């Protein structure tokens, strides 16, 4: 059967052209609570951010939950990724959330100490991190700059910069670069360049050895 060419979506809507800028590009169904969004960011459909800092140029593909998290610049986060899912109080007689969301059930005021305990297990994602579809980053985890998290991975331990991890629980697969290259990139810290500098040096980003030779 020959392939059929569709110049527009089947429902009649043209493929949207996205232009990012100082104002974040926010899709439908997004819920934000006490969160910060940087410039040139995109927040995909039906995502939830609670007390989260989402820095410049990073994007969420959609259906993401980020709670008590700091995300660096230029991060690529696929759909259905969840960062810092809520822990339940396993040490209590019941781990049901009625013990801390008490007002929902008429049991008095909510347990503020419990929510502070969750806040204290903040997640930190470095710059230029790629997190694959459906991955889960558990509370309190730090992921280093340049790391890659495989699809459906469950990250229970900190991840070094420029390390590729995958699996359940996630384990190191291999580094993206050798130690010297990773160290040089961390020292250059290109993610701190302003927009005009990035534009002027854009082609250099495509050649790692040349980039390090020029800016290292």
Please state which CATH class domain 28-84+121-176 belongs to: mainly beta
Q: Could you tell me where in the chain the CATH 2.160.10.10 domains are found?
A: 28-84+121-176
The torsion defined by the Cα of 19, 46, 156 and 115, in degrees rounded to 10, comes to 120
pLDDT tens track for 92-129: 999 999 999 999 999 999 989 988 999 999 999 999 99
Task: With a cut of 70, say whether residue 16 has pLDDT above it.
Answer: no
Task: With a cut of 70, say whether residue 213 has pLDDT above it.
Answer: yes
Q: Which two tokens stand for residue 189?
A: 């810290």
Annotation marks residue 17 as catalytic: no
Task: With a cut of 80, say whether residue 8 has pLDDT above it.
Answer: no
Helix H segments across the chain?
112-119, 179-188, 195-200, 208-215
Q: What share of the chain in percent tops pLDDT 70?
A: 93
- The residue from 27, 88, 91, 195 that is catalytic is 91
Residue 18: per-residue pLDDT: 79
pLDDT tens track for 55-95: 999 999 999 999 999 999 999 999 999 999 988 989 999 99
Q: How confident is the model at residue 193 (pLDDT cuts 50, 70, 90)?
A: very high
pLDDT tens track for 88-97: 989 999 999 9
Adjacent-strand bridge partners of 172 = 165
Task: With a cut of 70, say whether residue 6 has pLDDT above it.
Answer: no
Q: What is the residue-wise DSSP string for the chain? A: ------SS-TTSPPPPPP---SS-EE-TT-EEES-EE-TT-EE-TT-EEEEEEE-TT-EE-SS-EEEEEEE-TT-EE-TT-EESPPPP-TTSS--SGGGTSGGGGTSSS--HHHHHHHHTS-EEE-SS-EE-TT-EE-TT-EE-TT-EE-TT-EE-S-B-TTEEEETTTTEEEEESS-HHHHHHHHHH-GGGS-HHHHHHTGGGGG-HHHHHHHH-
pLDDT tens track for 126-142: 999 999 999 999 999 99
Residue 89: per-residue pLDDT: 87
């Amino acid at each position: 059967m020959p392939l059929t060419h569709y110049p527009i979506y089947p429902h009649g809507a043209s493929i949207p052209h996205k232009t990012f800028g100082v104002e974040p590009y926010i899709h439908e169904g997004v819920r934000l609570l006490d969160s910060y969004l940087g410039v040139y960011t995109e927040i995909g459909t039906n995502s939830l951010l609670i007390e989260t800092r989402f820095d410049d140029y990073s994007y969420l593909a959609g259906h993401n939950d980020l709670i008590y998290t700091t995300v660096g610049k230029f991060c690529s986060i696929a759909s259905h990724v969840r960062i810092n899912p809520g822990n339940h109080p396993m040490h209590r007689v019941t781990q049901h959330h009625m013990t801390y969301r008490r007002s929902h059930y008429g049991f008095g005021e909510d347990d503020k100490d419990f929510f502070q305990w969750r806040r204290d297990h903040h997640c930190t994602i470095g710059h230029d991190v790629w997190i694959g579809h459906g991955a889960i980053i558990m509370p309190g985890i730090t992921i280093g700059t340049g790391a890659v998290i495989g699809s459906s991975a469950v990250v229970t331990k900190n991840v070094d910069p420029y390390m590729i991890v995958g699996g359940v629980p996630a384990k190191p697969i291999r580094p993206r670069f050798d130690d010297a290259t990773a160290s040089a990139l961390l020292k250059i810290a290109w993610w701190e360049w302003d927009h005009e500098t990035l534009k002027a040096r854009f082609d250099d980003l495509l050649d790692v050895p040349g980039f390090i030779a020029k800016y290292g």
